[in-house]
A and B are shown apart, each in its own frame.
Chain A
């Protein structure tokens, strides 16, 4: 119940209990804000609170309170036109209902709401940022299951040719949100079996040299691929003699450090050596080696990160992470590799300089200033390559920084979004690589980062620019290539030019990530724009808002009618029972009608009179020919929408189109704070609670004071009490 305590501090009310609390605190608020519509006479939505009492063991009351809790948390009730309770009043009722639910045995449901990333926005934004909370922040002491990326970073496989590295564990969290949450990820039997299966494969494949069948294409077609085994493994597995203690000892030390990220103690060494000796004696060299390695790779410390807070407790009962724990926390905050691989962390740890907040801040600033070289994984090989590849370094290249923006914007999903209409001119890898390049550069430039991400014109996929870039690259390539290869290069170049010429347009207004093809495609369906998911994304990610869960029994399908415009298809959501929820996101998603479902700037909406359908995607030449023949009729399209719920008069209000939308959002305080809340979740591996208010406010201030440096947000978050203290 530790986590509930975080909320309860707000209201250390008198020892009043049960009925009395209800009568004194809750009932008056219900009377003031709810009874207008939900008393005996009106009973709107079939809900009467008039007779709902504080008895949570009563089934009807319990169900009613659950309903009320949901509506209060997502700030749907009271309706915006009615008198609103203050944030504190709202939180008071929420807390009271949660308490009641826990007592009624519904603790798990309450806990899930607090812990799961999809409920992150339920904590009042106003209370988090209004400065009224002065509780000292901390994170509960915890074991944190290693992420799939950390497994990759440990480099269990030295030689991976062609395929991808096995990631032995998957996230439980929704792929549409922040993934790595400490409370959610548990290693149980299914995880153990999957991990053992993967490690058995990995170990076995490194005990000998191997030969794989060749590729079916390319210059090395059908040439067998030779993969060397690991020398330290081969020395044992391929020997007929019992390995000597030194050979075994060295291997154990090395592999333990790989798995657990630290040198082993002498006591541990003795234990592992005895284990290996027994295994080799009983099972022979090969089986003995494999089982020993499994023992190391599957040890508890290799599957869980430990963040227990080993320092002395302070006056608030919190303990700071130990220097060793800080080293891990910092390494895994920015990279996927253990602390020993980062010189700043290693030096600080060895020199006993990871003891205080100031120490942490110093190391962080060094890491940020030093940056990371561009990561090559996930980068496209095709024409966008040069946009990303460079010799520069920057903190935006740290894998975890890249991943935060991936998880925040969700653009990598574009690569997996299947499109029925004709192919995009660039491959799906480029679709993801291009925005990644832009984001990293914006982060590295470190000025008004959020505003740039939302409005920068560099996201334009401009035909003229693209052709210019291709020409420049081609000229450079010619210089560095022997003459006899030039005809080949010319041919390839002409092909690319032709493609760009045919498929690209000169965009004019594309600004920021939400106008990028990848984001638009990631938030679209097979063949249509998807104002619902786009709107939900904006509501949740940028406006720290909540969208009600889809009511059970509602068939939320917008008809797939190709002879209707998007607005006509969405007429079904205008019904009162749909619109109550849809109004929270649909007006935010509709302005993206400025683009087609493939993320091209819309140049028209074309009705095909022959096929009697709206064409979702047309190439320029097809469009011109169709219009000429009269087979196509151009329709107007509607890009209007509305921003609501920021509470900022200059932001809220009707929106003209996608451009207007993002430029307005970029100016919003709430949007800035919402991004910071998501960054908090990503780096703390948990939802914020009210007691993290001071951490969030500090990060927000750091951003504003530095003219929008994301690096300052990082330093602020990662040296905060929320990050460093455990309880």
Chain B
């Protein structure tokens, strides 16, 4: 069921007066780029901490037995578990994926960059992560955008985490040693994403218009310096010069989107400066949907929480996610499993909210959700102290992504059994189905699984 334009705008809660022409714009852009499918492929990675337990996302009544067999079931035959109920209306547009492993990407409570790059890289990125690769394959003015409620500030691996500036949650990377910053401040994210077309006091269109002047000035400045140094050192400066050109090209794209941006930009509200954790996360999801609908980016990564977070909204004022992982009973008397349920339910509701918004925007014969894949998972596999022999995923949307996902519960044989597969196979599947190069495997192989055939994508999903 598609909403009317007015209903859509209202439902979006973004205050945009009318339905923007952005999907049309995408269509035009896609045609211009000569894409047969017509629409960009979009991705939203929602990364939780402290593990995503398979039991917590498994539909009711499914028996996995000793886990040695491949289970391929239809979601419509089962009830979703209580914490996933908000996804009920989307049951035939989602997939629950279990049984994959990622043992060799270790780290302290998190595989960090390893979770999306399949390289052991707890400290600094060893390779590009899947989200950044996809961002590159589906370019938009912002190739990737990341939201993280907190994280380590730039350059500070061991210091306190910060909440109101660009942070590095150590999840995404453009390439080896090139970590991707996430924005922790909703207010700043708003300016960065939508400022180019808005009349704001800081960071608005007046400032955006001066960017060309700034880049010219910096370029001139670098060239003056280049005259004074040797050819070899000039190479270092060339990297800096190239950055100016690349940013300028992005600005030109943004200039062409002014109308769509001003129409889709959310109404700025005091929610953007809220310090309540759940509010902040909720706003990130709102910003994400607005940015996708506007066409500002096609790939978004959201760090849904972090170990030190205390969900005060749910009465966990003095109990952090980490404490809960260590069996500490919450202030309001919830034991580990119950407390984790509360958190998961909240996060899945955010995913559902995002999915429903995208579903309300028509695109071609379907909706934007068909061309957007929302992937909910943990940075550390199946548990707080995980072995990563299981690494479960919930996928919503993305029916146009050329993978057989709709309405499926898929569980691969357990670790080291015949037919077992890894998250590397899964990422390979996503990448190949979305324009990535064919490759034997994604990332590093698990040495303990050398007897298994782990080449290629997951054949159960490929079209």
Contacts and interface: CB of A to CB of B under 8 A. Distances in A.
Contacts of A554: 447
A178 interface: no
Interface in B124-181: 124, 153-160, 162, 164-166, 168, 174, 177-181
Given A170-B155, A418-B109, A197 B211 contact: no
A707 B83 CA distance: 69
Interface stretch (A297-305, A343-351, A505-513): A297-305
A416 B122 CA distance: 13
B156 A189 contact: no
Contacts of B450: 553
A47 interface: no
Contact of A194 (B181, B237, B275, B445): B181
A140 B177 CA distance: 24
B218 interface: yes
B207 A295 contact: no
Interface stretch (B198-206, B337-345, B347-355, B409-417): B198-206
Contacts of B192: 197
A314 B192 CA distance: 52
A194 B154 contact: yes
Interface string B220-260: 01100100111011001101101110110000000000000
B155 A171 contact: yes
Contacts of B225: 300-301, 306
Contact of A303 (B108, B178, B240, B447): B240
> B-side binding surface: helix, strand, loop or mixed?
mixed
Nearest to A165: B153
B218 A298 contact: yes
Nearest to B165: A201
A288 B174 CA distance: 32
B448 A555 contact: yes
Contacts of B104: 555
A416 B181 contact: no
Contacts of B314: none
A247 interface: no
B209 interface: yes
A287 B207 contact: yes
Interface in A106-151: 140-143, 148
A166 B152 CA distance: 10
B240 A308 contact: no
A188 B240 contact: yes
Interface residues of B, number: 63
A193 B206 contact: no
A167 B153 CA distance: 7
Contact of B233 (A142, A188, A194, A213): A142
A143 B222 CA distance: 12
Contacts of B166: 166, 194, 197-198, 201
A171 B237 CA distance: 18
B69 interface: no
A2 interface: yes
21 contacts: A2-B232, A141-B230, A143-B236, A166-B165, A167-B155, A170-B156, A170-B179, A188-B240, A190-B178, A192-B240, A198-B166, A201-B188, A282-B206, A282-B209, A282-B213, A283-B210, A287-B206, A295-B214, A301-B225, A304-B236, A308-B228
Interface of B: 104, 108-109, 123-124, 153-160, 162, 164-166, 168, 174, 177-181, 183, 185, 188, 192, 201-204, 206-207, 209-211, 213-214, 217-218, 221-222, 225, 228-230, 232-233, 236-237, 239-240, 242-244, 246-247, 275, 445, 447-448, 450
Given A192-B244, A295-B217, A301-B221, 6 more contacts: A148-B156, A189-B247, A192-B243, A204-B202, A291-B213, A555-B447
Which 5 pairs across A and B sit closest by C-beta, in order of nearness? A167-B155, A148-B155, A170-B155, A192-B243, A189-B243
